[in-house]
Amino acid sequence: SAVISQKPSRDICQRGTSLTIQCQVDSQVTMMFWYRQQPGQSLTLIATANQGSEATYESGFVIDKFPISRPNLTFSTLTVSNMSPEDSSIYLCSVDRGMRQGYGYTFGSGTRLTVV
Amino acid sequence: GDSVTQMEGPVTLSEEAFLTINCTYTATGYPSLFWYVQYPGEGLQLLLKATKADDKGSNKGFEATYRKETTSFHLEKGSVQVSDSAVYFCALSALGGNNRLAFGKGNQVVVIP
């Protein structure tokens, strides 16, 4: 199974600043996904990142606020830009272990972000 | 669209009690169904899965059966331990789409010694 290293594990940031979250996978994967988990809530998909193309964003999420990079098949970053307290959440990356074969996603350990 | 509904509210029970967490789904086609667990301070881990009707997923004493007739995938464990305290998420993936996961709201389970 794929192992994902996600960092930072947590951060406290000032409003108006930006934070970049990194995910490194120990094997090549086609699709990487970024989720947000707001306090006490379930996971919401932010965007899907494929190598060599622009990320595909879900309704309610825009590239200017959450720019994503996917420079190769093992790495991706998510930036939370111009942060406000409403951005305080856990952000998780995940990879597709082969959904068409009925496997679930593997998730990183998450980045717990607090904006003050 | 595809969606997952989990029973409301946290679940508090004593050690060795029987645990049931209800999950129902709405999907076009034949989705794969999953239960994920999130232990305190950690990311999500796949607990079990089922890919077709009547399949039973099982892991660590937990079981869930894919019931197409009732569109359900309830999670059960016969005798819980304190170490089972976590948040449990039901999820589905509808094949033929873009393979995204749709999650339920999650249930906090607290097991008291």
A45-81 pLDDT, tens digit per residue, is: 999 998 888 899 999 999 999 999 999 999 999 999 9
Partner residue facing A102 (CB), from B44, B51, B105: B51
Q: Which residues in chain B are closer than 8 Å to A99, comparing Cβ atoms?
A: 32, 93, 95, 99
| B58, B77 contact by CB (below 8 A) | no
Reading phi first (left if > 0) and then psi (alpha if -120 to 50, else beta), residue A30 is in alpha
| A106, A92 contact by CB (below 8 A) | no
Beta bridge partners of A55: none
Q: Which residues in chain B are closer than 8 Å to A104, comparing Cβ atoms?
A: 32, 34, 36, 46, 49, 91, 93, 101
> Do B89 and A42 lie within an 8 Å CB cutoff?
yes
> Do B42 and A110 lie within an 8 Å CB cutoff?
yes
Residue A110 buriedness (CB in 10 A; 0-12 / 13-18 / 19+): buried
Tell me the pLDDT tens digit for each residue of A74-112: 999 999 999 999 999 999 999 876 655 556 688 998 999
Partner residue facing A42 (CB), from B43, B99, B105: B105
Please give the pLDDT value at position A1: 56
> Do B49 and A105 lie within an 8 Å CB cutoff?
no
Nearest C-alpha of chain A: how many angstroms from B45?
7
Residue B8 buriedness (CB in 10 A; 0-12 / 13-18 / 19+): exposed
How many CB atoms sit inside 10 A of residue B39's CB?
13
**Mean pLDDT of chain B, nearest integer:** 91
Please give the pLDDT value at position B98: 59
Tell me the pLDDT tens digit for each residue of A35-45: 999 988 889 99
For A8, phi and psi rounded to 5 degrees?
-75, 165
**Mean pLDDT of chain A, nearest integer:** 90
Average pLDDT of the residues in B48-73: 95
Please give the pLDDT value at position A100: 56
Partner residue facing A110 (CB), from B43, B98, B99: B43
Torsion sign (Cα): A57, B8, B43, A65:
positive
Interface contacts A/B by beta carbons within 8 Å: 53
Query: Rounded distance, CA A59 to CA A90, Å?
Result: 19
| Distance, C-alpha A32 to centroid of its chain | 8
Q: Which residues in chain A are closer than 8 Å to B91, comparing Cβ atoms?
A: 104
Tell me the pLDDT tens digit for each residue of B3-34: 899 988 899 999 999 999 999 999 887 888 99
Query: Rounded distance, CA A64 to CA B23, Å?
Result: 36
Please give the pLDDT value at position B22: 97
Please give the pLDDT value at position B44: 87
Torsion sign (Cα): A115, B4, B9, B15:
negative
Please give the pLDDT value at position B26: 93
**Residue located via tokens 């004593």:** B14
Residue A74 in 3-state DSSP? Answer: coil
Report the share of chain A in percent with pLDDT over 70. 91
